[in-house]
Chains A and B, each alone.
Chain A
Amino acid sequence: MELLTHDILIVGGGGAGLRAAIAIGEENPKLSVGVVSKVYPMRSHTVSAEGGAAAVIKPNDSIENHIYDTISGADWLADQDVVETFVNQAPEEMIQLEHWGCPWSREPDGSVAVRPFGGMKIERTWFAADKTGFHMLHALFQTALKYDNITRYDECFATKLLVHDGRCLGVTALELQTGQLLPIAGKAVILCTGGGGRIFPFTTNAAIKNGDGMALAYRAGVALKDMEFVQYHPTGLPGTGILITEASRGEGGILLNKDGRRYLQDYDLGEPFDVTSPEHPRKRTMELGPRDRLSQAFELERQKGLTLKGEYGDYVHLDVTHMGQKKINKKIPFVRELCRNYVGIDPVHEFIPVRPVIHYMMGGVHTNVDGETPMPGLYAAGECACGSLNGANRLGSNSLTELLVFGARAARAAVKYTESLGDFPQSELLAQAQDEQARIRERYFKPGDGKGKESIAAIRTAMNDTMEDGAGIYRTDESLRKTSEILRELKERAKNVELADHSLSFNTELTAALELEYMLDIAESLAHSALARTESRGSHQRTDHPQRDDDNFLKHSLAYQTDGDPRIEYLDVVITKWPPGERVYGSK
């Protein structure tokens, strides 16, 4: 085993990881950067983001507006200093991406075009038709190609953080093509591994979203923050969970129950305007309310029996027919393509069946505004991190911008941190890597006796089901206790998973088993954080505690792994200028 070394190591090659890698090249091209990614970077889940990325650029908008929309969207659980930093830095990052070739949609005068998203006072979402994430990711990936100081470890699967004397100094990663475990050292490590939506059954998230980086940090003793806050996107396709972008509503799409009623008007989201009215769609109103409130409205409507029934559960209709073919083709062509391919309908003429689906984790590895975790040398950015920008509910179209702003900030902080560090403790790191290799060999490559054999898929399905049942849109003490109990059993059962595949080259059964263990860890942190928060706020709705409780819970939760149940601690929210208020949508 030979130690591979870099100044800074990035785990994850999506939007945040690539932005961080480029930022290091900009800061100091002499620093060597390693990017470890379990997939080729352009396969990362950033690619699936559709609607757009928020940043203040138009004269009718203001920094103050974006800050307020973010904080109220977050139900006042965002750290306001972080929000201010983010909103102020966002335009520069977006322009930077434009300078790197991102094909933003344009106004006739050649300036960048913006569209409205849910929860916004003013339209400020930059977009590249409805493949914004795809174009951003490819622009970043192609730009990263020109930096000689970046070494890519494509299709290398991180299994453990290397920690010495309390500092993070690298990872072990399974090189999928050969099956070799690589010890890769970095004076600083930036986790950019995305969220873990795959712990739930219906999700817009790609197969690779298993919370890898969150679990790696959690196991190393770093807290996972605000894990109870998970965003349901109100419009996913039933069955597959494929995302139908919020831009479809930003461009005028409406939601209808089984009787054709725009039911959101019954849930304190304002009065509807006719689709032909110049007032439609009105911002922060009806279909342009925030995601948590729209998803909750669906669930309440379902309980009243007013949704439709299909093979994959209950659903409502998203109607964009009034937009007409020309506008649909121009503004949301991918929506049309997805509907034709996966539902067999044409949204130009037909309603789109939609239901809330798991979309985004507000929680993640505990960081500050510079992406620093409490562990020296360990940084995190993007969805895997919780820098407390998103609070209890993320504002739609903030996440793509978040990748850029915090990917770059984490990189700059890491550059500064590494300046003072000397040589690697080679032998100690190699010893840890050898232990890790032995662990994987012992656990997964020993021929089993066949007794107590468990299937990866069965445990995964049981985990998915219990997360939806007990930790979904509405939760109770009882439901969360039951889910926690089932997760504990599943973790035990997972110890009895035996692999049929004992080969080295591209052993995807092994990676599926490792991913299952990651998911079970973060699912456990989520359920226990949700159990401990006896209030309702944003995406976390407790029917047994229906009110927001600022006296006791204007606080971030911090979940620490222990030998038993996770330990939950709290940290005050940073309030600067915007005292907690009521979230008002739908009024003038």
Chain B
Amino acid sequence: MAASNTTTSNAVVTMDVFRYEPDASELPRMQRYTVPFREDWVVLDALNHIKDEIDGTLSFRWSCRMGVCGSCGMMVNGEPRLTCNSFLRDYYPNPIRVEPLSYFPVIRDLIINLDHFLDKLEEVKAWLIPAEDRELSEGEYRQSPAQLAQYKQFSMCINCMLCYAACPAYGHHSEFIGPAALALAQRYNMDSRDGASDERADVIFSEEGIWDCTFVGECARVCPKNVDPASAIQQAKVEATKDFFKSVLVPWGKRQQPAESR
């Protein structure tokens, strides 16, 4: 085990933690804590040590501690990170600065408000709208492994919000739908069972939609699940451009679908 026998006795690490307690003060502050350094501890372990042993007033979200629930995203030394997945050893012996995710309203300490994302997820209709209805008695829709592979990557989003905290377009324009919600919309657009890309188009191609993305690719860089929202957005842009040219050059394009009926 890599983790065995690696506790460095007496070694400590300095944590500078963002504090904001709206009941006490309108102004945020940084608070310094000293915690034991352990080779196999992640930043979240250090925060829990603070909470349990030093200062019960520090507030943050966490749950699964295995990188899948998406609760514990924070800025660690200025980078959006899952704290359950960020080892102290990668920063030691330097101090570690922990702040709430950038660009979001802060509720308290390290806890952000993510209502914006949840609203957008609903607006882009991030759920399956079947191309053709199927009764339960007819069994599952057939979907080949290749068809599954078309959207699988985008379905891996854990809604951790790291991509928003990394996205300069979201930082600049808080109405931007943002990387994760757009990736999830594209996840359904690309699903062979779905038939509602037209329904999603209005929102995706709106002012707050894909055209806000400047394709910096920061979202893809910070994503802990390799979802690559940037490529989802790029795909959507290509589709939109194709649709645009189709509508100009072949204006009969879509309306001619039922060709066989002629």
By size class, the interface of chain B is 35 or more
Chain A residues whose C-beta falls within 8 Å of the C-beta of B174 in the assembled complex: none
Query: Is there an interface contact between A142 and B52, defined as CB atoms closer than 8 Å?
Result: no
Bitwise, B143-185 to A at CB < 8 A (1) or not (0) is: 1110110011001111100000000000000000000000010
The answer to whether residues A48 and B4 also contact, given A42-B159, A134-B158, A509-B56 and a CB cut-off of 8 A, is no
Chain B residues whose C-beta falls within 8 Å of the C-beta of A207 in the assembled complex: 62-65
Interface 9-mer from A96-104, A377-385, A411-419, A537-545:
A96-104
Chain A residues whose C-beta falls within 8 Å of the C-beta of B71 in the assembled complex: 39-40, 43
**In the complex, how many angstroms separate the beta carbon of B137 from the nearest chain A beta carbon?**
8
Does A505 interact with chain B (Cβ within 8 Å)? yes
Query: Is there an interface contact between A505 and B23, defined as CB atoms closer than 8 Å?
Result: yes
**Complexed CA–CA distance, A60 and B190 (Å):** 33
The answer to whether residues A206 and B65 also contact, given A103-B151, A105-B148, A134-B158 and a CB cut-off of 8 A, is yes
**Complexed CA–CA distance, A458 and B234 (Å):** 52
**Complexed CA–CA distance, A486 and B11 (Å):** 34
Which one, A108, A240, A499, contacts B144 given CB within 8 A? A108
Which one, B108, B121, B142, B152, contacts A145 given CB within 8 A? B121
**Complexed CA–CA distance, A138 and B5 (Å):** 39
Query: Is there an interface contact between B85 and A95, defined as CB atoms closer than 8 Å?
Result: no
Chain A residues whose C-beta falls within 8 Å of the C-beta of B127 in the assembled complex: 100-101, 142-143, 145-146
Bitwise, A222-264 to B at CB < 8 A (1) or not (0) is: 0000000000000000111011000000000000000000000
Bitwise, B109-123 to A at CB < 8 A (1) or not (0) is: 101011000100110
**In the complex, how many angstroms separate the beta carbon of A184 from the nearest chain B beta carbon?**
19
Query: Is there an interface contact between A505 and B22, defined as CB atoms closer than 8 Å?
Result: yes
Bitwise, B51-84 to A at CB < 8 A (1) or not (0) is: 1110111011111111111110000000000000
Query: Is there an interface contact between B109 and A506, defined as CB atoms closer than 8 Å?
Result: yes
**In the complex, how many angstroms separate the beta carbon of B130 from the nearest chain A beta carbon?**
7
**Complexed CA–CA distance, A238 and B64 (Å):** 16
**Complexed CA–CA distance, A353 and B64 (Å):** 20
Query: Is there an interface contact between B1 and A103, defined as CB atoms closer than 8 Å?
Result: no
**Complexed CA–CA distance, A106 and B149 (Å):** 10
Query: Is there an interface contact between B121 and A344, defined as CB atoms closer than 8 Å?
Result: no
The answer to whether residues A42 and B193 also contact, given A108-B144, A344-B2 and a CB cut-off of 8 A, is no
The answer to whether residues A101 and B188 also contact, given A457-B53, A506-B59 and a CB cut-off of 8 A, is yes
CB contact list, B208-239 vs A, under 8 A: none
**Complexed CA–CA distance, A139 and B69 (Å):** 14
**Complexed CA–CA distance, A39 and B68 (Å):** 14
CB contact list, A69-108 vs B, under 8 A: 92, 95-96, 98-101, 103-108
Which one, A111, A112, A138, contacts B155 given CB within 8 A? A138
**Complexed CA–CA distance, A208 and B71 (Å):** 11
The answer to whether residues A48 and B69 also contact, given A311-B5, A500-B55, A500-B57 and a CB cut-off of 8 A, is yes
Query: Is there an interface contact between A503 and B23, defined as CB atoms closer than 8 Å?
Result: yes
Bitwise, B192-220 to A at CB < 8 A (1) or not (0) is: 01100000000000000000000000000
Query: Is there an interface contact between B7 and A311, defined as CB atoms closer than 8 Å?
Result: yes
Chain B residues whose C-beta falls within 8 Å of the C-beta of A47 in the assembled complex: 64, 68-70, 158
Query: Is there an interface contact between A505 and B21, defined as CB atoms closer than 8 Å?
Result: yes
**In the complex, how many angstroms separate the beta carbon of B187 from the nearest chain A beta carbon?**
9
For A143, the closest partner residue in chain B by CB is: B127
For B125, the closest partner residue in chain A by CB is: A146
**Complexed CA–CA distance, A84 and B183 (Å):** 41
Does B248 interact with chain A (Cβ within 8 Å)? no
Interface 9-mer from A116-124, A165-173, A335-343:
A335-343
Query: Is there an interface contact between B139 and A110, defined as CB atoms closer than 8 Å?
Result: no
Query: Is there an interface contact between A135 and B155, defined as CB atoms closer than 8 Å?
Result: yes
The answer to whether residues A95 and B140 also contact, given A48-B68, A342-B66 and a CB cut-off of 8 A, is yes
For B55, the closest partner residue in chain A by CB is: A500
Query: Is there an interface contact between B142 and A111, defined as CB atoms closer than 8 Å?
Result: yes
Query: Is there an interface contact between A509 and B69, defined as CB atoms closer than 8 Å?
Result: no
Query: Is there an interface contact between A504 and B23, defined as CB atoms closer than 8 Å?
Result: yes
Chain B residues whose C-beta falls within 8 Å of the C-beta of A457 in the assembled complex: 52-53
**In the complex, how many angstroms separate the beta carbon of B14 from the nearest chain A beta carbon?**
22
Query: Is there an interface contact between B140 and A505, defined as CB atoms closer than 8 Å?
Result: no
The answer to whether residues A208 and B63 also contact, given A103-B148, A106-B145, A505-B22 and a CB cut-off of 8 A, is yes
For B193, the closest partner residue in chain A by CB is: A101
**In the complex, how many angstroms separate the beta carbon of B209 from the nearest chain A beta carbon?**
18
Bitwise, A140-153 to B at CB < 8 A (1) or not (0) is: 00110110000000
Query: Is there an interface contact between B139 and A95, defined as CB atoms closer than 8 Å?
Result: yes
Does B249 interact with chain A (Cβ within 8 Å)? no
Does B128 interact with chain A (Cβ within 8 Å)? yes
Does A549 interact with chain B (Cβ within 8 Å)? no
Does B191 interact with chain A (Cβ within 8 Å)? yes
Does A177 interact with chain B (Cβ within 8 Å)? yes
For B192, the closest partner residue in chain A by CB is: A110
Chain A residues whose C-beta falls within 8 Å of the C-beta of B152 in the assembled complex: 103
Which one, A111, A139, A344, A499, contacts B3 given CB within 8 A? A344
**Complexed CA–CA distance, A92 and B68 (Å):** 27
Chain B residues whose C-beta falls within 8 Å of the C-beta of A238 in the assembled complex: 1
Query: Is there an interface contact between A240 and B65, defined as CB atoms closer than 8 Å?
Result: yes
Query: Can you list 9 A-B contacts with CB-CB less than 8 angstroms, sorted by A residue number?
Result: A40-B118, A42-B159, A43-B63, A98-B141, A112-B140, A311-B5, A341-B67, A344-B3, A507-B59
- Give 16 new A-B contacts, CB below 8 A, not counting A99-B128, A103-B155: A48-B66, A100-B127, A101-B127, A105-B145, A106-B143, A106-B144, A110-B142, A146-B127, A208-B63, A240-B65, A337-B67, A457-B52, A500-B55, A505-B108, A506-B59, A506-B108
Which A residues have a C-beta under 8 Å from some C-beta of B? Answer: 39-40, 42-45, 47-48, 92, 95-96, 98-101, 103-112, 131, 134-135, 138-139, 142-143, 145-146, 154, 177, 206-208, 238-240, 242-243, 310-312, 315, 334, 337-338, 341-345, 353, 455-457, 499-501, 503-509, 512
